[in-house]
Amino acid sequence: MVEAISENPLLVESGYIPFDRIQVEHIEPAVRQKLQELEQRVAEIEANIVPTWEGLMVELEAIGKAFEYLWAPVGHLLSVKNSDALREVFEKMMPQIITFTQRIGQSRPIYQGVKAIKDGSAWDKLDQAQQRVIELRLKDFDRSGVGLEGKAKERFNEIQTRISQITTEFSNHVLDAVKAYELIITDPEQTQGWPLNLKQTTAQSYAQANDTQSDVQAGPWRVTLDGPVMSPFLQHHRGREQRKEVYLAYVTRASSGELDNTQLIVEELKLRKEKVGLLGFNTFAEYSIDTKMAPSVQAVEQMSEQLAAAAKPFADREFKALGDYAAQQGFDGQLKHWDVGFYAERMREALYDFTDDQLRPYFPMPRVLEGLFSLCGRLFDIEIKLANSKATVWHEDVSFYEVFDKTAGQKIASFYLDPYSRPADKRGGAWMDSCMARRRTQGKLQLPVVYLVCNGTQPVGDQPSFMSFGEVLTLFHEFGHGLQGMLTTVDYADVAGVNGVEWDAVELASQFMENWCYHKPTLLGMTSHVETGQPLPDGLFDKIVASKNYRSGSAMMRQVQFGVTDMRLHHQFDPDGQQSFLELGREIAMAMSSLPPLSEDRSLCAFSHIFAGGYCAGYYSYKWAEVLSADAFAAFEEVGLDNEEKVTTLGRRYRDTILALGGSRHPMEVYKDFRGRAPSTDALLRHSGLTD
Ligand code: ZN
């Protein structure tokens, strides 16, 4: 029996989320009841638009708050406590949720009301954060075509529909092309040098595909174009002809026959251009940049040029060194694309002979957390305390913490930490998500709460979890996002914490924290060998640092090349012109890679990030955010990382600007407040070892 509606935990809008009481059975009745109420509320708002902050924006905020209690926990549970029943009800309710949010996002009366606030006489009396809430809302409205009328509106909607069909078709082609390819290996001799998990995955894949058995050591093994198979295969498989075959299949996937994406790409580029034309933009790149931190397409191009100019000589040298190394190993001839990964991996092993398993005993999780919390305490004047009794959780591994301002002695935020992997019902990867935004409703302040979710190694017996260095980095990364979510001082949920932060600026706070893992006293302070209690030896620390920059010139060039290709396709390129997009891609690759592209290479046909994902005219964001985080960390290096007094002063400034203001102002202004100037690429190049 379902409890009475009044007791439905998803409908209680106060306190922490009652994870101990939420059952799958609560979801459907709660969503139905709440949506009905909210729809009525929206209809009332639309019928009596009051174009003031109190009259309209506060009302819209209240709807956001209801969603925080009603639907956000459902999405969270789907990721951390999945079940068939939960998935079923999630999929059942999702369309109604989407319809409701679209209804607000495309409501003309609300749009006009928000616009009237902006154009009204009271605009100047709003504070900066309130103005930004309104500006971001208006931008969303404008970009969804709410302001268009007549034929233009019709065409806009038509294009939207077609683009979403194209992206689905595009992804399906890529998936099907990956599925269609296999290389079967039956001779155990040929798997010499393979890591164990490559054998496991490919044996399992063979068994599944053929509905039979396969032995991990005796085979057969099925090699596919799936990333987690293809990459280690190219790195470890000794048979050159087979590497060539797999490589060629990979760079030509979804580019011929029934699964050919070529025409879809041309059509998509044309439609994107036409769509943004209706909204008043010249190119899709300009439309993309309009909601980014980067001030202009030119600024992005300039960053790419600076990074490429510095990295290219290093990449060329790395390629030459790789050729020399291969020759020493008895390789005869010119290195081809299918040789690079293989020899790069052999050379890495020769240079940096350490493994994750060697490092783990030094990183017991409690010690790492202690180190992380004490670093944050020093830098940002906060104190983090375990508070498991204050909130209920979804799994016994999860801990709950409260964050206090040290000077004021006041609680300012809290967070859940779900550290270990649970393959049966928890999604892979690591992420930070907002559980409750900081907001003030009816004069009452709600403090921010965030989720920090990792997939670290589970503890065995009474031992703690021993972390790999990669897991430590991931924890610092997510905690950086978490700090921006928790140390916000903004009272409007739309722009509090990470909300409202431009896409290309979001990874600043997270990557900034990663830098501390390469600071010797910080890292060594978090290590204590399980048996000896000794910190990580200097030799191992040096290897960690050196291996970070192994072939960093080539890695930099590769990312910049993708970014440049994406930007040019969405800015200068004319989809109706003489040159094909493949020719443009090849031209850029010719100029940027140390090994000229193959004439067969049609890998743009599977560039899902930009043709089926959100990275269109935004791929550069990866590098943009790295430039920011390196440059921000460099501010600390400049005062001297061991100068306690100056580091704490600067830490406060970082907290008061980047962490506190979040989305409440344009990120470039916030950044300049912290750094005193616009970001520079120097620090990233230096940290990557790309300076002479
Ligand atoms: Zn991140």
Q: Do the Cβ atoms of 308 and 592 come closer than 8 Å?
A: yes
| CA of 262 relative to ligand 1 center, distance in Å | 32
* Ligand 1 midpoint to CA 107 (Å): 32
What mean pLDDT is predicted for residues 268-275?
A: 98
Model-level pTM? 0.93
Check if the beta carbon of residue 487 is closer than 8 Å to that of residue 656.
no
Per-residue pLDDT tens digits for 448-461: 999 999 998 889 88
Question: Would you give the end-to-end CA distance of the chain in angstroms?
Answer: 71
The set of residues, in sequence order, having a beta carbon less than 8 Å from that of 447 and lying 6+ positions away, is 411, 412, 413, 414, 436, 438
Q: Of residues 68, 301, 478, 507, which has the active-site annotation?
A: 478
User: Tell me, what DSSP letter sits at residue 574?
Assistant: -
Distance (Å) from CA 528 to ligand 1 centroid: 27
- Among residues 527, 456, 457, 445, the alpha carbon closest in space to that of 488 is found at 445
Domains of the chain, CATH where assigned: 5-147 (1.20.1050), 181-253 (no CATH), 258-354+552-619 (1.10.1370.10), 360-546 (1.10.1370.40)
Instruction: Give the tens place of pLDDT for each residue, 432-445.
Output: 999 999 999 888 99
Which of 633-638's residues contact partners 24+ apart within 8 Å by CB, and which partners? 633/512, 633/515, 633/683, 633/687, 634/682, 634/683, 634/686, 635/674, 635/675, 637/683
Quickly state the pLDDT bin for 75 (edges 50, 70, 90): very high
Per the CB < 8 A criterion, the answer to whether 651 and 380 are in contact is yes
Structure tokens at 641: 């990382």
Q: Note whether 501 and 662 are within 8 A (CB).
A: yes
pLDDT digits (tens, 9 = 90+) for 209-238: 999 999 999 999 999 998 889 999 999 999
Whether residue 220 has a cis bond before it, omega within 30° of 0: yes
Ligand 1 midpoint to CA 662 (Å)? 15
Q: What is the pLDDT of residue 482?
A: 98
* Helix locations, 120-252, DSSP H: 128-143, 150-180, 196-210, 227-236, 240-251
Tokens of 596: 């000229």
Inter-axis angle of helices 84-105 and 72-80, nearest 10: 140
Average pLDDT over residues 645-657: 98
For residue 5, pLDDT over 80 is answered with: no
Residue 219 has phi, psi (to 5 degrees) of 85, -170
Identify whether the C-beta of residue 60 lies closer than 8 Å to the C-beta of residue 101: no
Distances (CA, A) of 638 to 59, 305, 524, 633, 673: 46, 25, 21, 9, 17
Active site residue 478: yes
Label the pairing between strands 449-456 and 410-420.
parallel
Compute the distance from residue 258 Cα to the ligand 1 centre, in Å.
Answer: 37
Quote the ligand 1 centre to 618 CA distance (angstroms): 15
Positive or negative, the CA dihedral 213, 219, 223, 227 is: positive
Query: Distance (Å, rounded) from C-alpha 3 to C-alpha 54?
Result: 36
Let me know: does 326 contact 334? Beta carbons within 8 Å. no
